[in-house]
Structure 1
Amino acid sequence: MAGSLQGKVALVTGASSGIGAAIAFALAEAGATVALSARRTDRLAALVARIEEAGGKALAIAGDMAVEDDARRAVEDTVAQLGRIDILINSAGIMDSGGIENANLDRYRQTIDINLMGTVYTCAAAVPHMLKQGVGDIINISSLAGRKGGPMTSSYSASKHAVNAMTDGLRQEVGNRNIRVSIYMPGATRSEVAESMPDPTWREMIKSHVNKDGVVEAEEAAAVVVFMLSMPRNVNISEITVRPTIDTTA
């Protein structure tokens, strides 16, 4: 594997499936050495093997991004074992259903902890290394839900609104020191995002939404990330929204 990211070191969270796994493979294909983090160690091992079979370099670092020590360790282990961290992709996240009325507050907190705080933990750990290096890229995977709300998706939407606000604030903090920070908001993209949803009705609804004909494939989403990272250093695509062509009103 060789390409526009030759010599770069990347950490991808949520790399065991879906968009995260596709991004990790695409970064390796573009020449980066990739550290992969997620909870499912068997999935990580399989992806490392796939990357290496294709001629790339990858390292598995198991962890739960909702746990601060795990999230920080993913960054520190990347630097310790690979020498630096040029790229951080925060793709770890869950989707949940439910509104405020009769809300399951434990599930609400879990959504915030994984989607928002997991992103905060890794960013806080990575930024000092990037500042010391004098260069870096952070792309946080948000959602179209970060631009709107819904009666039964308030925890997910709230978490993604918060990710957007935090990410743009970070861009303004460190952008003038050669660290590019970006928000990537995908629409319907084929993934396993519905699998963690406990409500069977909403689980099937979201499953149908992300698997309908014409959705964005995970590999297509990953190609967008490589494009963003391949731009000249004076160009920061600070936020990007990618929808399937079929979703004209979303």
Structure 2
Amino acid sequence: MSSKIVLITGASSGIGAATARRLAIAGHHVVIGARRADRLEALVLELNEGGHKADHATLDVTDRDSVSAFVEGAYERHGRVDVLVNNAGVMPLSPLASLRVEDWNQMFDVNVKGVLHGIAAALPLMKAQGHGHFVNMSSSLAHYVAPATAVYSASKYAVRAISDGLRKEHDNIRVTEISPSFTESELLQGGDPDTMAFVQTMADRFSIPASTVADAIAYAVDQPADIDVSEIALRSRAEV
């Protein structure tokens, strides 16, 4: 299957937008979703005017009905769902002692429940068609915990566990975890101001381009059907 129907969440900026461009240019039809409809419309227009295939729908991954409508709408329009890139995420970091409970809840709502909502919507369709591929966005912080990252790391550890379980339960569904470190994106918003200011200085030193992560996703998507790229981890060589 040379051209695939690829759904991407959190596609209005950063890794999601870069992945949409990379996969559309590679010949796939991308269906992009996010809350910011104006950005989605602009990206679809850019891709279509360039001779590529793309459409969009507004999407809130914390709302299961919204995710179901996004996935089922794509299936109705295109007849199949080959790949779902669960990319939407947030990272408002803070020390636990700051008790930023709303931020904690937001990270689990978006980073964990968002992935589960995507799986709940797409898995039955993929099982019925006999194939499918989930690309779940994890993080280098799913492999270790740094000060002020406990809750974010926990959310990404959960993505790793969910991905591994999904892979082991279905031999005809491919599952890939993408674990980047600092990446050019709009992820560094909210959180404890002092913490986020420090993280921004680190990101300024070590961020890799969003297009580099998109290339990794494209590599996994374009492998033969019998090859499962289980995990790809990326970071700048300058980062120790």
Alpha-carbon distance, 1:36 to partner: 0.5
Which string of whole-angstrom CA distances, capped at 9 and with x for unpartnered residues, describes residues 49-73 of structure 1? 1111221111111011011111221
Aligned pair 1:190/2:164, yes or no? Answer: no
Q: Within 2, Cα distance between the matches of 1:71 and 1:167? A: 18
Aligned to 2:22, what secondary structure does the other structure show? helix
Which string of whole-angstrom CA distances, capped at 9 and with x for unpartnered residues, describes residues 104-127 of structure 1? 212211110100000000111101
Paired amino acid for 1:228: A
Q: Is the 8 A contact 2:103 2:191 kept in 1?
A: no
Matches within 5 A, 1:95-110: 95-110=91-106
Paired amino acid for 2:218: V
Alpha-carbon distance, 1:41 to partner: 0.8
Aligned pair 1:31/2:27, yes or no? Answer: yes
The residue number in structure 2 matching 1:157 is 153
Which string of whole-angstrom CA distances, capped at 9 and with x for unpartnered residues, describes residues 85-121 of structure 1? 0010011000011233241212211110100000000
Aligned to 2:97, what secondary structure does the other structure show? coil
The residue number in structure 2 matching 1:70 is 66
Paired amino acid for 1:185: S
The residue number in structure 2 matching 1:179 is 173
Alpha-carbon distance, 1:246 to partner: 1.0
Aligned residues: 240
- Which one of the candidate residues 134, 139, 145 is aligned to 2:141? 145
State the identity %.
38
TM-score by length of 2: 0.95
Q: Within 2, Cα distance between the matches of 1:210 and 1:61? A: 31
Alpha-carbon distance, 1:7 to partner: 2.7
Which string of whole-angstrom CA distances, capped at 9 and with x for unpartnered residues, describes residues 204-240 of structure 1? 223333333x632111110111111111222111111
Aligned pair 1:221/2:217, yes or no? Answer: no
Q: Is the 8 A contact 1:99 1:155 kept in 2?
A: no
- Structure 1 gap ranges (5+): none
The residue number in structure 1 matching 2:223 is 231
Paired amino acid for 1:184: I
Alpha-carbon distance, 1:28 to partner: 0.7
Aligned pair 1:205/2:187, yes or no? Answer: no
Instruction: Kindly report structure 1 stretches of 4+ aligned residues shifted beyond 3 Å.
Output: none
- Structure 2 gap ranges (5+): none
Paired amino acid for 2:190: M
Paired amino acid for 2:197: E
Aligned to 1:245, what secondary structure does the other structure show? coil
Aligned pair 1:54/2:50, yes or no? Answer: yes
Paired amino acid for 1:209: M
Which string of whole-angstrom CA distances, capped at 9 and with x for unpartnered residues, describes residues 157-212 of structure 1? 110000110111001111x1x21001110011111111x22432223223333333
Paired amino acid for 1:197: G
TM-score by length of 1: 0.92
Q: Within 1, Cα distance between the matches of 2:195 and 2:93? A: 7
Aligned pair 1:136/2:132, yes or no? Answer: yes
Q: Within 2, Cα distance between the matches of 1:209 and 1:79? A: 41
Q: Is the 8 A contact 1:189 1:211 kept in 2?
A: no
Q: Within 1, Cα distance between the matches of 2:55 and 2:221? A: 20
Q: Within 2, Cα distance between the matches of 1:18 and 1:46? A: 14
